[in-house]
Amino acid sequence: MASAVSPGMEVRRIGGSQDGRVIELYIGAQHPASGHMRLIVYLDGDVIVRVDPDIGYVHRTMEKLAETREYVRVISLLERMTIIDSCNITLPYVEAVEKLLGVEPPPRARYLRTILCEINRIASHLYGLGIGGIFLNHSTMYMWAFGDREVFLHLASLLTGARLTHTYSVFGGVRRDLPRLFIDEFSKAKRYMLKRLRDYDKLFFNNPVIRGRLEGVGVLKPQRAVELGVTGPNLRASGVRYDARLTGYAAYGELDFKPVVGKEGDALERIWVRLREIEVSLDLIEQAIRSLPEGPIFHERFTKTIPPAVRHWLAKGRIKLPGGYVRLKTRPGEVFTRAEMGHGEVTYYLVSDGGIKPYRLRVVTPSARNVVLFDELARGHTLMDLPAIYGSLDYFPPEADR
Positions touching other proteins (CB under 8 A) are 23, 25, 27, 31-33, 46, 133-144, 147, 203, 207, 209-210, 212-213, 382-387
Residue number with CB closer to other proteins (136 or 178): 136
Shortest Å distance, C-beta 123 to other proteins: 17
Q: How far apart are CA 380 and CA 121, in angstroms?
A: 32
Please, what is the minimum distance in Å from the beta carbon of residue 398 to other proteins? 20
C-alpha distances in Å from residue 1, one per residue of 4, 9, 371, 372? 10, 18, 20, 18
User: Could you tell me the smallest distance in angstroms from the CB atom of residue 298 to other proteins?
Assistant: 39
Q: How far is CA 88 from CA 51, 239, 395, in A?
A: 30, 23, 16
Shorter beta-carbon distance to other proteins: residue 39 or 288? 39
Give the residue with the Cβ less far from other proteins, 139 or 187. Answer: 139
Instruction: Evaluate whether 365 touches 89 at the Cβ level (below 8 Å).
Output: yes
- 3-class SS string, 238-254: CCCCCCHHHHCCCCHHH
Min. distance of Cβ 18 from other proteins in angstroms? 17
Q: Which is nearer to other proteins, 8 or 179 (CB)?
A: 8
Distance CA(35)–CA(366), nearest Å, equals 16
State the minimum distance, in angstroms, from the CB of residue 124 to other proteins: 20
Q: Which is nearer to other proteins, 68 or 139 (CB)?
A: 139
Q: Name 340's bridge partners.
A: 345
Closer by beta carbon to other proteins, 150 or else 353: 150
Residue 125: CB minimum distance to other proteins, A:
19
Q: Cα-Cα-Cα-Cα dihedral of 131, 137, 141, 144, to 10°?
A: 80
Nearer to other proteins, 8 or 147 (CB): 147
Rg (CA), the chain: 22
User: Is residue 259 within 8 Å of residue 236, measured between CB atoms?
Assistant: yes
CB closer to other proteins out of 213 and 343: 213
The residue among 170, 138, 141, 176 whose CA lies nearest residue 157 is 176
Whole-angstrom distance, CA of residue 66 vs CA of residue 75:
9
- The residue type found at 99 is K
Residue 197 or 228: which CB sits closer to other proteins? 197
Residues 240 and 220: their CA atoms lie apart, in Å, by 11
Smallest distance, other proteins to C-beta of residue 232, A? 23
Q: CB of 143: closest distance to other proteins in angstroms? A: 4
Q: Which long-range contacts (CB under 8 A, 24 or more apart) does 115-118 make?
A: 115/159, 115/178, 115/285, 115/288, 115/289, 116/87, 116/156, 116/159, 116/160, 116/166, 116/168, 116/169, 116/174, 117/87, 117/88, 117/91, 117/250, 117/339, 118/281, 118/282, 118/284, 118/285, 118/288
Beta strand 47-54 with 169-170 is unpaired
For other proteins, the closer CB: 23 or 314 = 23
CB of 376 to other proteins, least distance (A): 19
Tell the smallest beta-carbon distance from residue 141 to other proteins (Å). Answer: 8
